[in-house]
Structure 1
Amino acid sequence: MTTTADHTIPDASPIVLEKTVVRSYKTPILLSVVAALSIVLYVVFRRGGDTTFTFAGGRIAASLPNVVLPTTLTCVILTIVLVVMAALSWWLVSRFASVPLWFSGVFAFLFVLAFLTWAAGANALPLPITGLLLGTVSLSVPYIFGALGGVISERSGVVNIAIEGQLLGGAFLAAVVSSMTRSLTLGLIAAVVAGVLVSFLLAAFAIKYYVDQVIVGVVINVLVLGLTNFLYSQVLTKDPSMTKLLNSPPLLPALPIPGLSAIPVIGPVLFDQSIIVYLMYIAVAAVYIGLFHTRWGLRLRSVGEHPQAADTVGINVTGTRFWNVSLAGAIVGLGGAYFTLGSVGSFSEDMTGGQGYIALAAVIFGRWDPIRATLAALLFGFASNLQYTLAAVGSPVPSEFLLMLPYVVTILAVAGFVGYVRSPAADGKPYIKS
């Protein structure tokens, strides 16, 4: 005790704040399962011979020399490394430490490298790495646009299940408008408008009328699917003359960037693309900077985390959510245009094939961060393209497994490699002003 003239003051004792750490065995279990699968595939069912990786250049870039690896030895070494990393993840969790995301990323990369070496070994043709990466970027474009739209919408507090409908609507309207006007610019604008119109439905029912956001998103997807299928069968394809008028859009040309497009491997993959891919690069950077380094992003995140607090400081929660859901729809709609203007060259029934749901998985895998969601979308695009590449080189992997590969990767990524995630606190919760 400390005594003064008038008071007796107790000695100050230090305050100790205890931090509770919860062990999560989800990631170590998944890594162990993958390591065990590696032992079965690459050791028990090992393949002999050599695996050849080719790095052929594109239209402008030069080619790099081939890389030849002994199939069995490479797979066994990589399997040992995977087993050690799985054991290390158990050690980290036992010490109440989380498994870092980069650790899981390195583990996944090594497993993929071992799988490619095993699948393209023996009598298979050389594996074209440049073509594999080029196809990955091409197939990832709708995923990335969809994931960016999902990040914006969910950061504002609205679950965007309607990504599939926004992609499909953008693909349809882009094909029709571009076919009628022969203008690619108007086709891209029409895709943006289609995405906004679909998002208006989501915003109106979810924000204004407080309808369950998951249910209304699914209903919108079914509505857009049924509407576009009806118009396709009754308008676009019923008469050959109408098909030529309404469903024969021009394709976006490739626009190589001088200098950068000549870089081996990277040049053809990233810098010899169409304008919509370059718009994707800009969108990723703009969403990231806007979300975390601008007043707009601060307001957006505030209504998604604590709408009541945002309301008390004068932020219009309903208006902010409404307009940002519309912005998300515009971005996703632009991604839908890639199907008809950047890839296929015409619209067909259900041409998105559930890719909007995979984009939603990329949002979760990316922890509602635009950069991480983009990387997740690239992973899913790689899995989608891998089935075509392995089939082309004569891999013995069953075709049925190759068809389900993108969805298997999606499940594994969201279930285990992502670890513990926390969505925005008010995500999916309607705000009723008191």
Structure 2
Amino acid sequence: MLTLKQIKDNRAEVILKLAKKGFKADDIIDEVLRLDEARRQSQTELDSLLAEQNQCAREIGALMKAGQKDEAEAKKAQVASMKARSKEVEEAKEAYERELRNLLLQIPNLPNDIVPEGKSAADNLEVRSGGRMPELGTTAKPHWDLAKEYDLIDFELGVKISGAGFPVYKGYGARLQRALINFFLDQAREAGFVEVQPPYVVNEDSGYGTGQLPDKEGQMYHIGLDGLYLIPTAEVPVTNIYRDVILSEAELPIKNTAYSACFRREAGSYGKDVRGLNRLHQFDKVEIVCIDKPERSYERLDEMVAYVQTLVDKLELPWRILRLCGGDMSFTSALTYDFEVYSAAQQRWLEVSSVSNFESYQANRLKCRYRDAQTGVQLVHTLNGSALALPRIVAALLENHQSPEGIHIPKALVPYTGFDLIPAP
């Protein structure tokens, strides 16, 4: 959530930057400023009424002491009228505050200056690439055919049990899933991230804290009876560990990693691009979350991007990194880098990670701050990234590493799988 100071001090700049995200902000910003002025005027009137009531209370005491009962009663009636007015003003102030917060929650984060102009994924900027492109020939099979042929993943059984988008992993497929989770967690721990195991459901406050609510409410599974939400990513519970917390400067940077199942409704997703593992309602992911001082957050972002690059390198996959344009960025992000791996059988790039800096946007919602020795209590910056999401990684591993003998396992993963080849049936 943007701070009122950001909006009041830089109205024109805020409107201009939000336009890069395709968000027309003139009217909502003006309404925010109007409500803030009304709220402040209400507070001024309340303070004045309280001062008058206190003065009257002193005068009533003096009048009673002097035996001037009628004058004292008149003052009491005056105080009662002021109290009634105070209640009206307090209720109006609270209404202004509620409306103001609701509007602020509807305003996206400001994009960083280096975010490219653009309206869609076609306008994203490739910043670097690596890995060797496989040469599979015309007989290469997509992962959904390989999964069936090798009996690794049963999509139809998942439909029977739950519905489309809930696959059942079997045999080598299940072992590969477990191996990837452990590999990603171990790599994160070696890179200095502290592992946590969060809940898979969160309350409404947590959803608002990281920006899933109200922006992505329709994409989350809601447990109506209990008012809880299944998490779309471990980012939500892990970042909310620090909600309403004032950290010491010595605690920063905080670096956490967590594995979780993730749940997304993916409403409106249809077509060939969602086949197989390309888009699921439930999937596994290892997340990394960082919290740091504002002046160090972009250094931290670069470290996180470089770390994710080591993972796709070790999995022997061709990859590229994209800096997302304004029109393709998330509601909460200030700057995002997407990692994509190439699927040789599908002949297309598959997104496997997003690494983002949210600057103070989430922190303001979370009220996550730190105590600076010179400047006092300040908002932190929050960052997160997928390291990595499993479904499309598995799809690329199966497709890119297929051979007549079977599906080869990357060398770095063999200690986790216990096998270097899924033999051809």
TM (norm. structure 1) is 0.24
Q: Which has the higher strand share?
A: 2
Name which structure has the greater RCO, CA cutoff 8 Å, separation 6+.
1
> Radius of gyration: which is bigger?
2
